[in-house]
Structure 1
Amino acid sequence: MSIPMVFFDIDTQVDFMLPEGNLYVPGAEKIIPNLVRLMSVARERDIPVVSSADAHSPDDPEFAIWPPHCVVGTPGQKRIPETQFEDATIVPCRPGAFTPPQRWIGQTILEKPTYDTADNPNFDAILKSLGNRRAVVFGVATEFCVRADALALRQREQAVDLVVDCIKAITEEGGQKALSELASSGVRMVTTEEVISAARG
């Protein structure tokens, strides 16, 4: 019997995904059709979706490096409609904000002020509650938050698949370097079609 999946949907928010966003990842909107396919199969097969969400204060120190983006309460901080479930559970970046569900289905959104979703103090409790699942990672940006989350999962001895046709990098060079590093860490490279075929088994 194959290991069940959990989808890790990384930072598919307006400020990153759309050309009008404050920190637009070039070409990110081109992965939206594959995001739609993955979210559809997640609903169809009851695959839990753990979504990361950048959540910054207006004076976040990160804005010394990057343009202001994903400020809490702004339109740019919202997920694009294609990756937002109506009944999503939001887990703020504070200790004790996560209550294990009776059954893992639907979307859980982890807020974070950094590249790494593991900086949300509820991250490890969520992984423990999910149990033995293969993590299927996709989203933006490849060389920053996608890389950080995939490595965080591997450091916790999690099996990780990276959906290579459902990610986008800020620069091609940075993206390729991240892919090489992730492959060396044991991340398996897969396509959207392969994930869907495996999910429908």
Structure 2
Amino acid sequence: MNDQQPQPPVPPQGESHRPTSQRPSFADTYRAVQAAQSGRAEEDVVEDKVERPVTAFVVVDAQNDFSEGGSLAVAGAVEAYKATHRHLAGRAGKYSVLVTTRDNHIDPGDHWSDEPDFVDSWPRHCAAGEPGSDYHPEMKRALDYFAAVNPQVPRIDVTKGEYEAAYSGFEGKTEAGVTLADALRAADVERLEVVGVATDHCVRATVLDGLKEGFDVAVFTNQIAAVDDARGKASLDEMAAAGAEILDK
């Protein structure tokens, strides 16, 4: 099998790194695209509805410190990111919104510890402004690919955990201070498809909170990795019992 990853086109100038606050809302994007395709004025398509479920692709904490070689490395993370790249290369067009979440610790209190228990306390990781908090290059390539082939799709960037422990993406906010739940509802999102790390911590928390917020949620098992394999399996069972759809690929 050829494991070579799809190479992304060069992202359009100003699109892939545009701040969240400057990105168009899904509603604005939809009106603009429909107007361009139909020759109508944008205001004439305000009431148009998207017939298929509006689906967001959610990438949880795919950061350097959570990847092989990082301060809190999760075995299998990079392979999961490669699977995400392949997934987006084949199915990027099905997503109406892209969501990315990141730990962005400034002073998270006893969430960091020199003697961590790896349950409630952890080694120093994902410090704001440091390389460990950046997206891993393999995932960044996948995200850049998505932006290049779907420049019209809005992206919701969420950071969390600045001053306390935070696992779920729904605990975070955008740069403009909007919660993830509110941002998703503003984009009329109905379904979340979730990938990232770690299965037994931030992926689990994000999926369970997404279900509590009323979204349909699916998880791709080939695009996640767990800190502990047994806990990872138990977490998938818990997510499924709560109503999440567990997909192989």
Class of the TM-score when normalised by the shorter of the 2 chains: 0.7 to 0.9
Pick from 156, 159, 165: which aligns with 1:111? 159
Question: What TM-score do you get using the length of structure 1 for normalisation?
Answer: 0.79
Contact 1:42-1:49 at 8 Å conserved across structures? no
Matched, 1:188 2:245: yes
Partner of 1:143: 200
Partner of 2:87: 38
Partner Cα distance (1:47, 1:174) in 2: 32
| Structure of greater Rg | 2
The two structures, once aligned, show a CA RMSD in angstroms of 2.5
Pick from 42, 51, 62: which aligns with 1:12? 62
Stretches of structure 1 that go unaligned for 5 or more consecutive residues are 89-102, 193-201
Partner Cα distance (2:63, 2:91) in 1: 19
Partner Cα distance (2:138, 2:187) in 1: 24
Contact 1:104-1:130 at 8 Å conserved across structures? no
Stretches of structure 2 that go unaligned for 5 or more consecutive residues are 1-50, 114-120, 174-178
Shift of 1:154: 0.2
Alpha-carbon spacing, 1:41–1:48, altered in 2? closer, same or farther (3 Å): farther
Matched, 1:161 2:161: no
Alpha-carbon spacing, 1:188–1:46, altered in 2? closer, same or farther (3 Å): closer
Partner of 2:105: 56
Deviations 1:38-78 (A, max 9, x none): 34356545532101100001564310310000001111100
Alpha-carbon spacing, 1:131–1:33, altered in 2? closer, same or farther (3 Å): same
1:177 partner amino acid = A
Partner Cα distance (1:41, 1:167) in 2: 18
Give the secondary structure class of the aligned counterpart of 2:206.
helix
1:164 partner amino acid = T
2:172 partner amino acid = N
Shift of 1:130: 2.1
Number of equivalent positions: 178
Contact 1:10-1:137 at 8 Å conserved across structures? yes
Partner Cα distance (2:167, 2:229) in 1: 19
Partner Cα distance (2:65, 2:80) in 1: 15
Partner of 1:78: 134
Shift of 1:37: 2.0
1:30 partner amino acid = E
Question: What TM-score do you get using the length of structure 2 for normalisation?
Answer: 0.65
Contact 2:54-2:95 at 8 Å conserved across structures? no
Alpha-carbon spacing, 1:47–1:127, altered in 2? closer, same or farther (3 Å): closer
2:160 partner amino acid = K
Higher share of residues assigned strand: 1
Alpha-carbon spacing, 1:133–1:104, altered in 2? closer, same or farther (3 Å): farther
2:245 partner amino acid = R
Give the secondary structure class of the aligned counterpart of 1:7.
strand
Shift of 1:5: 1.5
Give the secondary structure class of the aligned counterpart of 2:80.
helix
